[in-house]
């Protein structure tokens, strides 16, 4: 039986996911956590075999936790389960070290299928996402158009997302536990990379992108060896 750790800042979601997994003969939830501190403690004390991690954890980015686990002394398979559009975040999650990505609005059966896939060493994303990833392999750089949000680092994209959510520079700094000047530097980098001229244009584009990201649709599942 595989021991699962759930890391999510919504108590009701943690409870529902734990109940779902504990009904399966091959899974048992050994620990739940709402932040990095709780997750690190659970990893030490319960030594889970796999983890389910949300990207947005209160004031922390779940991808940083994924990277930490993947590069640690005892790396375990991680399934990222998030409300954020897979076309934006799935590839980043895999690059961070996750073995799978599922959007929260997908059917509960998808989570079970995904966990069983990653437990066997497979990468698990939706069929639509797999198609996008394969298509990218055949796109020549010379044929690509204007720079898109894909050129941003994970941290820059998080700042961009928070700008689009209506947060001020001070609020973003508090949320990410960084200095105001550091956030200002990230804003400048984002504008430079995306060819944005001023703060107003940055805000407008961030808002449009954030709205699009939250309205993305997921397809059926697919697993690859």
pLDDT tens-digit readout, 181-214: 999 999 998 998 888 888 888 998 888 888 776 6
pLDDT at site 95: 87
Give the other-Cβ count within 10 Å of 145's Cβ.
5
- Where residue 26 falls among pLDDT bands split at 50, 70, 90? very high
Task: Give the model's confidence band at 142: pLDDT under 50 very low, under 70 low, under 90 confident, else very high.
Answer: very low
Going by pLDDT thresholds of 50, 70 and 90, the confidence category of residue 222 is very low
The percent of the chain in helix, strand and coil, each rounded to the nearest 5, is: 55, 15, 30
Does the pLDDT value for residue 69 go beyond 60?
Answer: yes
For domain 143-214, which CATH number applies: 1.10.10.10, 3.40.50.300, 2.40.110.10, 1.20.140.10? 1.10.10.10
Q: Which CATH architecture describes the domain 2-135?
A: 3-Layer(aba) Sandwich (3.40)
| pTM of the predicted model over 0.85 | no
Q: For the chain, what percent of residues have pLDDT higher than 90? A: 48
pLDDT at 107: 66
Give tens-digit pLDDT for 101-133: 998 887 677 899 999 999 999 999 887 777 776
Residue 58: the pLDDT is 77
Q: What is the mean pLDDT of residues 156-161?
A: 90
Which tokens hold the place of 59? 């004031």
Every domain of the chain and the residues it spans? 2-135, 143-214
In sequence order, the 6+-apart residues with CB closer than 8 A to the CB of 49 are 2, 3, 4, 76, 77, 119
User: Whose CA is closest to 104, among 209, 12, 2?
Assistant: 12
For 159-174, the pLDDT digits (tens) are 998 999 899 999 999 9
């Amino acid at each position: 039986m595989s021991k699962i750790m759930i890391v999510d800042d919504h108590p009701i979601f943690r409870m529902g996911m734990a109940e779902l997994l504990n009904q399966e003969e091959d899974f048992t939830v050994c620990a739940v956590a709402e932040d990095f501190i709780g997750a690190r403690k659970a990893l030490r004390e319960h030594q889970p075999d796999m983890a389910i991690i949300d990207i947005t954890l209160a004031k922390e980015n779940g991808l940083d936790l994924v990277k930490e686990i993947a590069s640690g002394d005892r790396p375990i398979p991680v399934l990222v389960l998030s409300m954020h559009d897979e076309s934006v975040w799935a590839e980043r999650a895999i690059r961070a070290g996750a073995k799978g990505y599922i959007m929260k609005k997908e059917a509960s059966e998808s989570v079970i299928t995904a966990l069983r896939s990653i437990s066997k060493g497979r990468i698990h994303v939706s069929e639509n996402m797999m198609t996008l990833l394969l298509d990218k392999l055949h796109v020549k750089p010379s044929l690509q158009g204007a720079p898109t949000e894909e050129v941003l680092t994970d941290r820059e994209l998080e700042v961009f997302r928070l700008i689009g959510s209506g947060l001020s520079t001070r609020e973003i700094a508090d949320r990410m536990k960084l200095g105001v000047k550091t956030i200002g530097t990230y804003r400048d980098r984002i504008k430079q990379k995306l060819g944005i001229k001023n703060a107003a244009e940055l805000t407008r584009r961030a808002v449009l992108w954030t709205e699009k990201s939250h309205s993305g649709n997921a397809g059926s599942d697919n697993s690859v060896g």
